[in-house]
Amino acid sequence: MRPSTALAPLLCCTIAVHAQSPTQQRLHAESGAARPWPADILGNSNATYCPLVPVQEQRFEIEFIEIAPCPIVSDHVFYIWMYGSIWRDRAINLTEEILANATLTIKFNITYVDGAFDSFKPLTIPMAPTALSRWNHIDIRNMTGAHKERMVLGGNDVVSDGVILRQWVVAGNWTMEFDARVPDGRCLFDFSLTQWMDGDFDPRGAEDSSWLAKAFGSGSGLPSSDVPRELNNATYGKTPAKDQLFTIEFLDVAPFPIVSGELYYVYLYANFWPQWTPGLSEADLAKATLSITFSIIYADGSQDHSKPWTIPLESKMLDRFRHIGIRNETGHATDHMSLRANDIAADGYVPKQFVVSRNWTMEFDARLPDGTCLFDFAMTQWVNGNLQRHV
């Protein structure tokens, strides 16, 4: 089995065609004068601008909104990625100090199966990275993919992940409106999403709306039933589970299987238990590395394997549209893994033009400098692609 040059495009060229030079980024951050106002929101989300605030009066120009999976599936991880820009010449007297005090108001309403309609009390929170619950988060990144504590002038990613618990949500068409404003009332963005959601709960007759917070995991421990354990097709790698320091609680992939050309999200949740990791320190974890290996089995039974791609195990942008993020046991973003519970999340796209259609196996092996294994697992997924194999 020979190392394949056919695998190199997947490793080296993934979405780099979309990456921008620093000069392009500066221009992108400073001027929107030559660009027309968008009429629709691009992306796999069915998002639309709300009619009360004309798009020309929204200071954040949305490039796209993607949801994985779309539609959202209750009891499984979902991921929402909004990418856009605050143009300097369209944001007169808008500073990053003002943006630091922006708020986000989220409104929910539902049309039930029988046609009845309900709306619920809006939720207003700071427009900042936050853990809404242990399993639901909002984060902000700048054009370089770095975690930020507020929106910035120029390009921004606003991302959200979570789990909607089936036992606390009612089946119906849910509309969620997201309205972000600075303190003087100027609108940053105002859009809505409508998604069909399956659920087992009927709020009609409930004494209050506390069930809505429960639907998003507020106050709950590890999500009940099988959430979210089965959507990954993952197995432990060459290192036995007993020899891995990081005890994996669950691994979820959205959508499952991954769809080339569409957004994917991988969410790993695990623990370093003190009784099994004596002597382990956060200084050690800051030096950890992650090796990623790809392999493919072709229709004729032959195989190709890539050389391991080794990177620091830290929150970072792999390219403009692929990221790895780490969160601690409170759900807040960190640069490196920490003792006790950690989330490791990855988002991105598999570019169809660089992929051969077959079963792909991806192995992820994280280690300390002395070779001690933190985790080692593999996932096998069928991925469609347009690249032809040349022997």
* Average pLDDT of span 206-218: 66
* E strand or H helix that includes residue 61: strand 60-68
Domain boundaries, the chain: 37-216, 234-386
Residues 82-104 have pLDDT tens digits of 999 998 888 889 999 999 999 99
Confidence of residue 29 (pLDDT cuts 50, 70, 90): very low
Number of Cβ within 10 Å of residue 162's Cβ equals 22
Residues 323-349 have pLDDT tens digits of 999 999 999 999 999 999 999 999 999
R_g (Cα) of the chain, nearest Å: 22
- pLDDT in the model for residue 267: 94
Residue 33 has pLDDT above 70, yes or no: no
d(CA 156, CA 119) in angstroms, rounded, equals 30
* E strand or H helix that includes residue 99: helix 96-99
Q: Give the whole-number percent of the chain exceeding pLDDT 90.
A: 56
Contacts of 286 (CB under 8 A, 6+ apart): 314, 335, 336, 337
User: What are the backbone angles phi and psi of residue 329, rounded to the nearest 5°?
Assistant: -70, -15
Are the CB atoms for 49 and 41 separated by under 8 Å? yes
- pLDDT in the model for residue 315: 96
d(CA 71, CA 126) in angstroms, rounded, equals 27
Provide the CATH number for the domain formed by 234-386 in this structure. Answer: 2.60.40.770
Provide the CATH number for the domain formed by 37-216 in this structure. Answer: 2.60.40.770
One fold for both 37-216 and 234-386? yes
